[in-house]
A = this chain, B = another copy of it.
Amino acid sequence: MKRAPARERLSRDVLAASALALADREGLEAVTIRRLAQDHAVTPMALYWHFKDKDELLDGIAERLFAGVVLPDITDRPWDTDLHAVLEAFLSAMRPHPATVGLVVTRVLQSDAGLVVAERVLGLLRAAGFSTEQTAEIAGYLLSSVVTLISAEPGPEPALDSAARDAAIRGKKATLHALSPERFPNVVASADALAYCANEDSYFNRGVDLLVQGVRGIRST
């Protein structure tokens, strides 16, 4: 239960940063106006000077997530290679923050750093030949899907100590294996992989691949 230095000067940035750190440690439910105030040895109402309401605090967290994206350079390779690289860059920035990743979906176009990412994806899709409408729909969907990749990863959510995690995984496996093999043969066959993702990197690679290949696929339709 490490807390921020007792009397660091407050500001949007400092507060958003420590809110993000708190979410990473204890989950998004732990991020509370009152808790955050307490961690900074200040009254809850003090935060309302820096944020209009809690939603603005969450905006601040999302902004930091977007700011963590380091976009790869644009190359002269085919558009889908570049698209893959951008999505991977986005994924890498989000992966360390599974608890808060859901915040970004609705906020891409509301933060400057988010707009930069969106602009890049839109540009690549335009280069691939999609219309402005298609481009808009696909770009938003791609970014959201990368987020989904993270939040849908099999296995219990982090922010648990590893002992509790292991127990949860074993329980999950047991439940799935106990299902009727007549009704759910494939669930039973895939039980272990459904309960826990053994190789995260290959899971994420496959996911990004699926998306990029999907875009290629609908382009030639």
- Given contacts A145-B148, A217-B213, whether A118 and B206 have CB atoms under 8 Å apart is no
A109: chain B residues at CB < 8 Å are: 172, 176, 187, 194
Query: DSSP majority for the A interface?
Result: helix
A158 at the interface (CB under 8 A from B): no
A132 at the interface (CB under 8 A from B): yes
Using CB atoms, name the residue of chain B closest to A135.
Answer: B190
Q: Which of A160-194 contact B (CB under 8 A)?
A: 172, 176, 179, 183-187, 189-190, 192-194
User: Which of A122, A147, A221 has most B Cβ within 10 Å?
Assistant: A122
A13 within 8 A of B: no
Determine whether the beta carbon of A206 is less than 8 Å from that of B194: no
How many angstroms from the CA of A190 to the CA of B151 in the assembled complex? 28
* A197 sits at the interface (CB 8 A): yes
Q: Does A136 contact B (CB under 8 A)?
A: yes
Measured in the bound complex, the distance between the Cα atoms of B189 and A145 in whole Å is: 23
Shortest A53–chain B CB gap in Å is: 14
Name which residue of chain B comes closest to A196, CB basis: B136
Given A105-B151, A144-B148, 5 extra CB contacts under 8 A: A109-B176, A115-B179, A135-B186, A136-B194, A213-B217
> Hey, which bits of chain A sit against chain B, CB under 8 A?
105, 109, 115-116, 118-119, 122-123, 126, 132-141, 144-145, 147-149, 151-152, 154, 172, 176, 179, 183-187, 189-190, 192-194, 197-198, 203, 206-207, 209-218, 221
